[in-house]
Structure 1
């Protein structure tokens, strides 16, 4: 990792150490920009409503029927407004309806807003029913339970193709190391000269140490992994972005020869 990336990661981990309260992490992967757009719209809804008064059960059911009526063709904006109505209703009926809507598979054009609406009303209701502080952690890649989802790109040392035994070492060492610290591997893809990991990591996980130690363990079998890796919880890297990183790694390797 570069020095500035290391500093960002350290500050990121420190920000979670003193969190006290119930943590909510959106499981689905929703772009950060879309999350911001949703919450801006929700805040505007609250201002227009002049306060949050619980909606009647009949109102909640009416909004839900409108939302799910396949014969009534509605604009995306109309569907979004119906989701905001349900999210801000302060009524458990809306929570159950939104939960059902998400479980059944929401309309693709408003799926991100449906996930966020369900999260928002859950937090609002739990805030009313509990004295415990409710904390929402937002990332572009979501998470599960109290774990955040991360994408990690590992590259070979010097851009050399991995040998068969090296692929086995990567899979074995990372699987074992992560199991010891309660990290979950959702996917592992080993290409010609790089590997991609999709991970679920506890919010207080010591990412720098675990990654560094595991790379070092792999390199006990020959220095075939670069000490530098890319990690993000915004979005997975595209093939084009990966190739640029590989080219940079190759240039740095040649400069060090």
Structure 2
């Protein structure tokens, strides 16, 4: 692409081979209570097209270009699950490392995003709880997700993470609260999603206010009625018509007017579907 500055590269048919280890254990000491632990090595291929377009040095040979090597991640997870009576709950903690991870990085305002290969470490916590109430058909539920992502962006030859992943590479923390009702042909659900505020360490010990995520919340509702010939559904998103700037605009391009957007206001969807 002309915007990258064209250079000649040598094509090829790169090949990769690796042995990936996966394993886990599950314990159920009492009925309805389980604990588990797992280890898995994941394998994915980076965005080769974006990487090739961003090559800025003539003579690069795709056959041995380090930036297109696969992403191998080491993933660990431990958790517990509880399913007894009206209660259904789970808690999971996970952490993942990749020595040669793949990140979307914008080198200048308005410039296209490029892929950079850096060490990436991610850890997270997920909590979920649902309870069937004494009222037949009514279930209350909540869920919480917390993520921490770090990367090595210093290019000093030391393989140690020193800053946060930005909004282009990690999602916000979330808290969901919902109520669901099912009775015969009728089902309904109301849910509020809280996207929690956070700040980013863009460079070591620096947390620019420009890239701070202020957070927001939206409430959605849906109704579904099953008829003898298909089902009618009516849903409404952001029923309180809350005004907010979306996560991407706040954290990735807050000073780029061409990519700074408010989220969707109140909107309705009426649909019919037939399953066969």
Decide: shared fold, TM above 0.5. no
**TM-score between both structures, scaled by the size of structure 2:** 0.21
Q: Please say which structure displays the higher CA radius of gyration.
A: 2
Q: Of Structure 1 and Structure 2, which has the larger fraction of its residues in helix? A: 1
Higher relative contact order, chain-length normalized (CA < 8 Å, sep 6+): 1
